[in-house]
Chains A and B, each alone.
Chain A
């Protein structure tokens, strides 16, 4: 696709120009923005801020006098004052279990109020993880891949949203001090759950970072295959041990929709080198009277360990 972009860019480079223009934008009152991502057995991390005019340089404005009230399974947990000097505040007094219903009301003192509700999804266990070595992608002749087959069972009674994430960690020793590396692995997402048989290797779609739904696997036990470039298995100079951890996240509808819409919004930026030739994407939110995301999440994981 980028090649088409190049043709467009060539034309543009030959003739085009840019200039500032004045356009009266409608004045929108600032909205409250709230984010929280909640795992079982973890603390609550909360962000509250306000939106800005699109013409402002800072991305957001801090809420000086923020408050929130928190509920777990409709039980009032208390009212709290938010610190005004941090982007995120951590609240260790809360802990969460699978299937907990959680809700929050946050407000700016003498200002707007926002509210949101979510739940902690069930963990979907990884039933089996098998590996094999394959040569993939003829476009990169001879590229060797580690194929991982991840088997799990999708609950039939509900619509489920997933994400598969692979994290590579390395441990070693660097001149007597412990050495640690961590990165997420960008793997080939050719499985039908990602592509629906629509993309080609030469016309790749947007990489949704491993997000998928149960649309084509509803209620079934499914063996999903992912291909990890083998260079992720090479030890660097200091590493003695490598661990590849495969996470199977079970997301809420809201988390999935928010994540997906932000990827779409960002993704189109890349296709034509920033040319805004796509309709702007509306970012999903589940914050009533405001913007942002409040969601629970859960995961299972399995790992492969390689020793030098």
Chain B
């Protein structure tokens, strides 16, 4: 046979074989054939005969089966299995399916329990699907996959139907005869959203779903379609569009959650805390969307496994890497270029994921500055990598790393220096004095997943996180033919080494127990100066200033997610921590975490939560906007930990699969929150940093509405928040309560994405917010030149502030629109993304200030209050992406 024909023949056989196997698998579906009985009353035998007649099923059963001469069924229609369950409700039985034959066996005593464990994975890439539902729809037993896609569920022996559901994927069903403990993989197939057919029974039964309040899972595909500033996909900016979460100012990537400050958010990248998640002074976040697998935001009802921050957890999981084939994405925008590659290293054993993003503004400016004496440059980059290696069915290793940096540099004082060599003619060299300022994050983690038995999953993580802000300066001084070079470096930051173990123990479908602990060694660098002078080859190295502070932190937690009543599910846990402040000074906390969900109807539930949180470190802020100079510092003898208590009550209504409406009320109290005293600030280095701060309390309450459609051609969300956040400090505002810095009474965000076809989709966001509180002076008065002043006053008047945050800036609103044009190519696909930020050119306030200006008509000086807007005009963006 010719080779080509031989190949075709084998391929056809292979396809037929698959179809045959598939058919035989589907043959087990006889229990899910739909029947419509002719009567609701009759004997057991009558109903079995009727089912046999309608479906062709042949029942086989022993005489031990409890037959009744007369019984009445609650419903006449349903799946075969539902009818059988109703017939034998008083004598539970196993149904063993053999083709069209169903053997009914009465269960003696408690049915034997079988453990089914496994992973929920993306079919095309084998990427773990996190928080996927895995459930038995008839017994209403269920669980969810963890951060590594692992699940474990205990089911009665016999025939079972196990389903898995995940947003954006088709439901996957396994029909099994459970004889012994089983390993099962759900290979989920992404759903073609154009094919929006509602599948009956596709919805996950409410009973098996989460107990949590205040948790939002945002599909990464939705995040990627949000119109973005300068074409940079930004996860944090998408999160800011969710109810209860606000940005610090227009364009910034800070998060203010339910009245909390930006340092009260625990931002995790694959379990490792990130201390500064921004680029370009906060205009962009460091998370390269090409490398992100899952984003989860928790703003209340914190599970016991999280701790260390008061207001929110942003849990970001990166891609493990495609296990099946090599894939890549490359992208060019106004600001940056990105490249992401993933693929298998050893088939079915190991895969990798690497992504890189860098701005090229500096490359462009370097061309302009070719003939300039002084040169400046700015860039930032992100590098993510992740490797995983499967040691066995029970063991897997992960290594992940992140490096990111922002740098702004200036070269100046161009000098030509003659260099003499003893054996060579003298040469000349051009040298510059240089200044660099920037900040960077280095993060690394090694993790080991191990499955103990069938019901216990352990993840052990060793991690390293290093954030540093730096200023470098190097100078050259040529005098009488000799060159003196000097350099200085200033840096501050925080470095963590940590080890932690997280264990998931699933003893039965009714309990999901998590416990674990961690030990963290924090090293705080509050500002260190290094100076190096090299005079004709003799280096002099000096380090001074800024003592390193070593602080140890220990954490333990235990939580159980369980059914107390058939409709009442609870999550009860505790988080315990210990922090070594200074010497023998320790702080500790025992934080109760409780959340409950009561199922009113299968798609309607009421939820409640109560949690305590403690935070042992705080961010000493430079200014009212995020700056890399902001410095993390630990609690001390004089600065006590910040603590928060939050309670919430919510309702969740599942309109359809992946389409939810939620309403949540919350109340939050914050203790020992910190602020600068009214006569101190960051750059006041003449005062001890602790003396500059004052502690107070905060309060926040409100409600949030979220209508979220995660799938379909038209998807997105509508969010509304009403909130009131206040602070009270004895040493601020004369001890009176005042609005918190980013208190926003009304906040609306609408995000929609519509998929017109396979080739075109669009996204639009509209956000509205009550103006932020602002402190404005109301009067001015004479300020004399003081008799001991070293230099003249900047101003000849002082400003008098009566009340803190007593005014509001004008309201904020903005519309952003973006389109994506996709085309399939032989090598993959290409995507053009274009859009317009601030489409109708709204001038939103960034800050307000007073200014004296001359009236051109009258010639008189006038003073007015002015508004400064950062992005007052429509800003277009374009980005080109290829996937291969």
Chain B associates with chain A: yes
Shortest distance from the beta carbon of A56 to any chain B beta carbon, whole Å: 7
Which A residues touch B627, using CB under 8 A? 4
Q: A211-B686, A212-B686 are in contact. Are A200 and B847 (CB under 8 A)?
A: no
Binary flags per residue of A17-59, CB closer than 8 Å to B gives 1, else 0 = 1111111011110110101010000000001011111111101
Binds B, one of A100-108, A171-179, A191-199: A191-199
A84 contacts B by Cβ under 8 Å: no
Q: A7-B281, A20-B866, A202-B488 are in contact. Are A51 and B793 (CB under 8 A)?
A: no
Which B residues touch A59, using CB under 8 A? 780-783, 796-797
The residue on A at minimum CB distance from B484 is A141
Taking a contact as CB atoms under 8 Å apart, the answer to whether A25 and B781 are in contact is: no
Taking a contact as CB atoms under 8 Å apart, the answer to whether A202 and B546 are in contact is: no
Which B residues touch A140, using CB under 8 A? 475
Provide the bound-state CA to CA distance between A3 and B489, in Å. Answer: 15
Partner of A202, one of B529, B778, B786, B867: B529
The residue on A at minimum CB distance from B283 is A11
Provide the bound-state CA to CA distance between A57 and B527, in Å. Answer: 42
Provide the bound-state CA to CA distance between A141 and B687, in Å. Answer: 29
**What is the total number of residues of chain B having a CB less than 8 Å from a CB of chain A?**
102
Binary flags per residue of B755-793, CB closer than 8 Å to A gives 1, else 0 = 000000000000000000001111111111011111101
Taking a contact as CB atoms under 8 Å apart, the answer to whether A1 and B477 are in contact is: no
B685 contacts A by Cβ under 8 Å: yes
Q: A49-B781, A280-B799 are in contact. Are A18 and B866 (CB under 8 A)?
A: yes
The residue on B at minimum CB distance from A33 is B781
Which B residues touch A200, using CB under 8 A? 471, 490, 527-529, 545-546
Taking a contact as CB atoms under 8 Å apart, the answer to whether A55 and B850 are in contact is: yes
B658 contacts A by Cβ under 8 Å: no
Which A residues touch B806, using CB under 8 A? 26
The residue on B at minimum CB distance from A274 is B849
Taking a contact as CB atoms under 8 Å apart, the answer to whether B533 and A57 are in contact is: no
Which B residues touch A51, using CB under 8 A? 779-781, 800
B659 contacts A by Cβ under 8 Å: no
A272 contacts B by Cβ under 8 Å: yes
Interface residues of B in 673-696 (CB under 8 A from A): 676, 678-681, 683-689
**What is the total number of residues of chain A having a CB less than 8 Å from a CB of chain B?**
101
Which B residues touch A7, using CB under 8 A? 280-281, 378, 408
Provide the bound-state CA to CA distance between A3 and B764, in Å. Answer: 35
Taking a contact as CB atoms under 8 Å apart, the answer to whether A282 and B680 are in contact is: no
Which B residues touch A194, using CB under 8 A? 685-686
Taking a contact as CB atoms under 8 Å apart, the answer to whether B546 and A57 are in contact is: no
A117 contacts B by Cβ under 8 Å: no
Which A residues touch B786, using CB under 8 A? 37, 259, 262
Taking a contact as CB atoms under 8 Å apart, the answer to whether B685 and A142 are in contact is: no
Binary flags per residue of B791-823, CB closer than 8 Å to A gives 1, else 0 = 101111111111000110010000000000000
Taking a contact as CB atoms under 8 Å apart, the answer to whether B281 and A4 are in contact is: yes
Taking a contact as CB atoms under 8 Å apart, the answer to whether B779 and A199 are in contact is: no
B872 contacts A by Cβ under 8 Å: yes
Provide the bound-state CA to CA distance between A279 and B678, in Å. Answer: 8
Provide the bound-state CA to CA distance between A54 and B781, in Å. Answer: 9
Taking a contact as CB atoms under 8 Å apart, the answer to whether A37 and B776 are in contact is: no
Q: A266-B793, A282-B801 are in contact. Are A20 and B781 (CB under 8 A)?
A: no
Which B residues touch A278, using CB under 8 A? 623-624, 681
Binds A, one of B52-60, B646-654, B707-715, B856-864: B856-864
Interface residues of B in 70-126 (CB under 8 A from A): none
B848 contacts A by Cβ under 8 Å: yes
Interface residues of A in 192-225 (CB under 8 A from B): 194-212, 215
Q: A165-B790, A201-B529 are in contact. Are A52 and B781 (CB under 8 A)?
A: yes
Which B residues have a C-beta under 8 Å from some C-beta of A? 280-281, 283, 378, 408, 410, 435, 437, 471-473, 475-477, 479, 484-490, 492, 526-529, 531-533, 545-547, 623-625, 627-629, 676, 678-681, 683-689, 775-784, 786-791, 793-802, 806-807, 810, 843, 845-850, 852, 861-873, 875
Cβ contacts A to B, 18 pairs, < 8 Å = A3-B408, A3-B410, A10-B378, A15-B870, A17-B843, A17-B869, A21-B865, A23-B776, A31-B779, A50-B781, A139-B486, A140-B475, A141-B486, A195-B686, A196-B686, A198-B545, A251-B788, A277-B847
Known pairs A259-B788, A278-B623. 15 more at Cβ < 8 A? A21-B867, A31-B779, A53-B779, A139-B475, A197-B547, A198-B689, A200-B471, A203-B490, A206-B683, A209-B789, A276-B847, A276-B848, A277-B624, A280-B777, A281-B681
